[in-house]
Chains A and B, each alone.
Chain A
C-alpha cells in the first residue's frame, strides 16, 4: 500500500461528458503528480502541484484541468470526453518539490463509450 488513494477505481461514461478524478496523497507529501497511461501513448505526464501551486505542466489537453486543495488532495477534471481519453489515470505523490521517489496510487480506469 503506497498510501496514495485514488477514487473512483473504475469509471464508465459517454462521449461529451465530464468526470472528476480524486487523489489523496501520502500523509505529509506536498507534491501531487498526474499521469495518463494508455496502450498507444505509454505513461504521459500531465501536471504537477506542490503545496497548492502548479509547478510543472506536460501535454495536458485544454479540456483537462486540475487543482490541489489546501488539504493537499487533488482533483483532475476531464471534460468533453472523447473515446481517446479512455485510459488509466494515475496520481502520485512525493515529499518535496523536485522529482524524487514517487508513490503511485492504484489508478482510476476511465472508459469512454
Chain B
C-alpha cells in the first residue's frame, strides 16, 4: 500500500497560472519529498522538507508541511509549458525506504 496520496489526480491550468497539489500520508515521517516525472522518464527530485520544517521554497516551488494533519502541499507559481509532468510526493517514515503516492498529472496549456 502507498503511504502518500496526492490530490487532485489530474490538473489542467493555463500558462502563467499557479498549480497546487496536495499530499496526505498515514504515519510519522522523517521527511517528505516531491518529485517530478516527465512522461516515461525517470523521476527528478524537486524539494525535501523535514518533519520539523513547515515551509520551504525553491525557485517557483513552495512546499508546506503540516505534521498534525499529516499533509503537504506543493505550489508551482507562474506555470510554464515545461512544467507539464506528473508530480509525486514521497515519504521517509524512518524505514530506509521512500514510499511514493500515486501522483498528480499536471497539464499546462499554452
Contacts and interface: CB of A to CB of B under 8 A. Distances in A.
A106 B101 contact: no
B65 to A, nearest CB: 16
A42 B2 contact: yes
Interface string B56-95: 0000000000000000000000000000000010101011
Interface in A64-113: 88, 90, 92, 97-107, 109
B97 A99 contact: yes
Q: Name the interface size band of chain A.
A: 20 to 34
B97 A90 contact: no
A11 B102 CA distance: 25
A11 to B, nearest CB: 15
Nearest to A47: B97
A56 B97 contact: yes
Contact of B44 (A33, A97, A104): A104
Contact of A99 (B40, B42, B92): B92
Contacts of B97: 33, 45, 48, 56, 58, 99
Contacts of B88: 43
A98 B96 contact: yes
Given A42-B101, A99-B30, A56 B42 contact: no
15 contacts: A2-B42, A33-B98, A35-B100, A43-B88, A90-B42, A92-B43, A97-B96, A98-B92, A98-B96, A99-B30, A100-B92, A101-B45, A101-B48, A106-B41, A107-B40
Interface of A: 2, 4, 33, 35, 42-43, 45, 48, 50, 55-56, 58, 88, 90, 92, 97-107, 109
